[in-house]
Structure 1
Amino acid sequence: MGFMNKQVFRLGFSLLLAFCLGFGSLVSPAMALTQEQKLVSEVWRIVNRSYLDETFNHQNWADVRQQALRKPLPNDQAAYRAIQKMLKSLDDPFTRFLDPEQYRSLQVNTSGELTGVGLQIALNPQTGGLEVITPIEGSPAEKAGLRPRDRILKIEGLSTENLTLDEAAKRMRGPVGSVVTLLIAREGKEYKEVILVRDRIELNPVVAELRLSPEGKPIGYLRLTQFNANVVIRLADALNSLEKKGAVAYILDLRNNPGGLLQAGIEVARQWLDSGTIVYTVNRQGIQGNFEALGPALTQDPLVILVNEGTASASEILAGALQDNKRAQLVGETTFGKGLIQSLFELSDGSGLAVTIAKYETPKHRDINKLGIKPDKLIPQQPITREQIGTEGDSQYQAAMELLTKDLVVAGS
């Protein structure tokens, strides 16, 4: 979809996170729009053209524009507030405005670098509350024991109830070495105050190791932590290396992977599939696009994928594609359930706009939004430490290894 040059498709929470229609008759031809009014109109036009819900949350979208431009907009901040109010009326936490600083930060995040506490966050679609999707591996948040689905009630004593996703993220960002205090709620536990020291976070999206099954078979273990710009080439390198070392089967660990770039998820799926549909996208006209495997796959070896409730977005596209094409079996827990696709637009003043433009369906036309993907083998697991991942203390990993071993015996490998 070539709406504009600087458009990037995202599935972003994450943080894992810029058509032309006439200006209408709000101002007479003799009156020129101010820069601030132009920015508001620019945002309105993008949403008007591409937003998934053609009812715009059951409201007259043209009236929303008139209201936004009726008040004086003396500066950028006033325009930004008008835009945020306009978008809030859609009641979609994933359609959001990013000021120039937030937009730059998001671009940096998807490029593979980050500074802060290392939390991927989202607004819960049902409650609107601020939630942890997953802490980034090795980050201050992970070291402090934060987990998927933890609710963030306060940041530095300020309630998050009325904060947008990006306002919350901005309050958690800051210089390396500075401190931020969060009030956390966890199911069945008392509220807990967590003090985090901000740090620089390396975003290497691929962990790869050759392991041995109990019977001594070489198994490739691959863990993907997110779908940033590095993941496709890093995974291809890791797979080629493991193939050369003699791997006869693979475990692909997508637990606590919050997603990221849509195209990265599709390209990773192509690395495992010779043929078949990877994902369908459905826009507001009901028009279905689809992405296909191009073949050949980098390996034909048996594959088990590990998933849990922190597996979201692009991770769910990958898991759904390989499950529906019978290329992999899924082990673990039901995934997060984010089936909406955002497009990221760069605006004329250097700010950005994320807009929900479509939903996606798996190859078997499953709509997973708010439902998630159910694994073939359900293995509930209490939270484990980073050091326990992929060890004897990791019951989901052990179940995946068991399943692969049975497959290899059946196949006579």
Structure 2
Amino acid sequence: MNQSAKRYSPLQVALIGGAIATTATASVFGPAWTRCVRAALQDSPKAIVDQVWQLVNREYVDGKFNQQDWQATRQSLLSKNYASREEAYVAIREALKILGDPYTRFMDPKQYEALTSQTSGEVSGIGIRMELNEKTKRLTVVEAIENSPALRAGIKAGDEILAINGKSTQEMKVDDASKLIRGKAGTMLTLRLGRSGQSAFDLKLTRATIEVPTVRYTVKQEGNRRVGYIRLREFSSHAADQMRRAIRDLNSQQVNAYVLDLRGNPGGLLQASIEIARMWLDQGGIVRTVDRVGGTEDTKANRTALTNLPLAVLVDGNSASASEILTGALKDNKRAVVVGSQTFGKALVQSVHELSDGSGLAVTIAHYYTPKGTDINHKGITPDITLDLTEAQERQLASNPNLIGTQNDPQYAKAISALSNTNFAQPPATQPTGAMSSSARDLKF
């Protein structure tokens, strides 16, 4: 039974060109038994249990369910009584374990809300990045985000957050402070700030919905080259627009080459990776997905690249999923030289559903392959130039992020060196550039 109260959640996906069916599959039991079950499930924790079972039964990529009797699992789940939703959640998670797929997972309402916030690329708050300063042990502003209440109010990097709505932040963790600062757009917040050379002062702010910057870029002068350095942290719903603005701005600054840094990028929305691939590729395949019945979809470039300048891509063991789609497309089409460490190796696509009580379910619905047909699952992508950082180098970059994307960053330095090699530096052919397609398709990795 499928009782989803919000069938068309923004994260619900379209697969193979059409919307996911939202009607329940036919029951394997008799109609009288089904009517009885429906009556019993109404407004009970079992409603969520059965909703999860139905979604997995209909969509899961492995129609044999890891050689498990999925019908028997349903009977077992519905034969139990659940005193609370929490008990039902435990039963759901145990049932999903038998699939042997860590990416098909249940999320309670708070976990689902966190995921939707992450993939939407938006937060409701005041728009600051903060850290616990190692020397002072105080919560300190790292950055006030562009177009945010914090920036408009004059909050600066280095400001210390002494109290949040009158609550002292002494010995407070960053996560706990974030929970206090975030809240519904339009509500008020008071911060007590410490600033060098001034007495502590209170600042009132109104929370707002803020687009989180996931793309950061700059021009770097490397010898006689002007290099456009772009770091992409995740593939949120705003990532493609931010990437488009970055490339166009760097083009206007007359860069000679690009470095695209995907290190530490865990993935995100499939459509974002496709759109971004099309900004670098004029022709060639991007990704092929295969569903549970062997149905395939090949996604290709569409002659809308924004640049054909030489490109290097940086990856590491935490570059996963959508990062690997983009990297695989650029590597297989010989559009870029890939530098760094072996990538994570996640070649599975999930659809994400909001359930009737605000919880959520991610279901693996397809397997993907690179344009050359390579299966990277559990293997990852091998860079064209493999360069693993030593533990000392990793510690140095982690303790001083300003060194990332400089000549003190060994992988970046190797990418700059590689860009001087015309075998790597130039795309297969010079192609005309154009505008990007804005077609939307929310597939989650």
Kindly tell me: are residues 327 and 178 of structure 1, through their superposed partners in 2, closer, same or farther at Cα, counting changes over 3 Å?
A: farther
User: Helix, strand or coil for the counterpart of 2:344?
Assistant: coil
Q: How does 1:6-405 map to 2 (within 5 A)?
A: 6=9, 7-9=11-13, 19-25=23-29, 28=33, 31=36, 32-35=39-42, 36=44, 37-113=46-122, 198-200=176-178, 203-214=212-223, 216-381=224-389, 382-383=393-394, 384-385=397-398, 386-405=401-420
User: Helix, strand or coil for the counterpart of 1:97?
Assistant: strand
The question of 1:407 aligning with 2:422 is answered yes
Kindly tell me: are residues 376 and 141 of structure 1, through their superposed partners in 2, closer, same or farther at Cα, counting changes over 3 Å?
A: farther
User: Helix, strand or coil for the counterpart of 1:212?
Assistant: strand
Aligned partners of 1:177 and 1:198 also within 8 Å: no
Kindly tell me: are residues 9 and 254 of structure 1, through their superposed partners in 2, closer, same or farther at Cα, counting changes over 3 Å?
A: farther
Residue equivalent to 2:164: none
Aligned partners of 2:27 and 2:34 also within 8 Å: no
Kindly tell me: are residues 359 and 29 of structure 1, through their superposed partners in 2, closer, same or farther at Cα, counting changes over 3 Å?
A: closer
Structure 1 residue 270, shift from structure 2 partner: 0.9
Between the aligned partners of 1:142 and 1:365, the Cα distance in structure 2 is 47
Between the aligned partners of 1:362 and 1:86, the Cα distance in structure 2 is 32
User: Helix, strand or coil for the counterpart of 1:390?
Assistant: coil
Structure 1 residue 29, shift from structure 2 partner: 5.5
Between the aligned partners of 2:134 and 2:308, the Cα distance in structure 1 is 37
Task: Answer with 324-333 or 88-97: which moved more.
Answer: 88-97
Letter in 2 for 1:403: A
Letter in 2 for 1:53: D
User: Helix, strand or coil for the counterpart of 1:300?
Assistant: coil
Aligned partners of 2:265 and 2:319 also within 8 Å: yes
Letter in 2 for 1:315: S
1:301-335 residue CA offsets vs partner (Å, 9 max, x unmatched): 11110111111111010000010011111011111
Aligned partners of 2:351 and 2:363 also within 8 Å: yes
Q: Which 4+ stretches in 1 moved above 6 angstroms?
A: 141-144, 408-411
Structure 1 residue 104, shift from structure 2 partner: 1.4
Kindly tell me: are residues 81 and 307 of structure 1, through their superposed partners in 2, closer, same or farther at Cα, counting changes over 3 Å?
A: same
Q: Percent identity?
A: 42
Kindly tell me: are residues 103 and 178 of structure 1, through their superposed partners in 2, closer, same or farther at Cα, counting changes over 3 Å?
A: farther
Structure 1 residue 73, shift from structure 2 partner: 2.6
Between the aligned partners of 1:101 and 1:319, the Cα distance in structure 2 is 32
Between the aligned partners of 1:100 and 1:344, the Cα distance in structure 2 is 13
Kindly tell me: are residues 224 and 142 of structure 1, through their superposed partners in 2, closer, same or farther at Cα, counting changes over 3 Å?
A: farther
Residue equivalent to 2:194: none
Aligned partners of 1:269 and 1:293 also within 8 Å: yes
Aligned partners of 1:21 and 1:45 also within 8 Å: yes
Structure 1 residue 82, shift from structure 2 partner: 2.4
Aligned partners of 2:235 and 2:322 also within 8 Å: yes
1:185-218 residue CA offsets vs partner (Å, 9 max, x unmatched): xxxxxxxxxx86645499421111111122x221
> Which structure has the bigger radius of gyration?
2
1:238-276 residue CA offsets vs partner (Å, 9 max, x unmatched): 110110110121111111111111111111101111121
Between the aligned partners of 1:112 and 1:49, the Cα distance in structure 2 is 29
Structure 1 residue 406, shift from structure 2 partner: 3.3
Between the aligned partners of 1:241 and 1:399, the Cα distance in structure 2 is 25
Letter in 2 for 1:304: A
Kindly tell me: are residues 8 and 267 of structure 1, through their superposed partners in 2, closer, same or farther at Cα, counting changes over 3 Å?
A: farther
Kindly tell me: are residues 335 and 141 of structure 1, through their superposed partners in 2, closer, same or farther at Cα, counting changes over 3 Å?
A: farther
TM-score, normalized by length of structure 2? 0.69
Between the aligned partners of 1:355 and 1:347, the Cα distance in structure 2 is 13
Between the aligned partners of 2:314 and 2:230, the Cα distance in structure 1 is 10
Letter in 2 for 1:110: T
Kindly tell me: are residues 347 and 143 of structure 1, through their superposed partners in 2, closer, same or farther at Cα, counting changes over 3 Å?
A: farther
Letter in 2 for 1:313: S
Structure 1 residue 79, shift from structure 2 partner: 2.5
Kindly tell me: are residues 320 and 30 of structure 1, through their superposed partners in 2, closer, same or farther at Cα, counting changes over 3 Å?
A: closer
Aligned partners of 1:341 and 1:360 also within 8 Å: yes
Kindly tell me: are residues 179 and 22 of structure 1, through their superposed partners in 2, closer, same or farther at Cα, counting changes over 3 Å?
A: farther
Kindly tell me: are residues 61 and 29 of structure 1, through their superposed partners in 2, closer, same or farther at Cα, counting changes over 3 Å?
A: closer
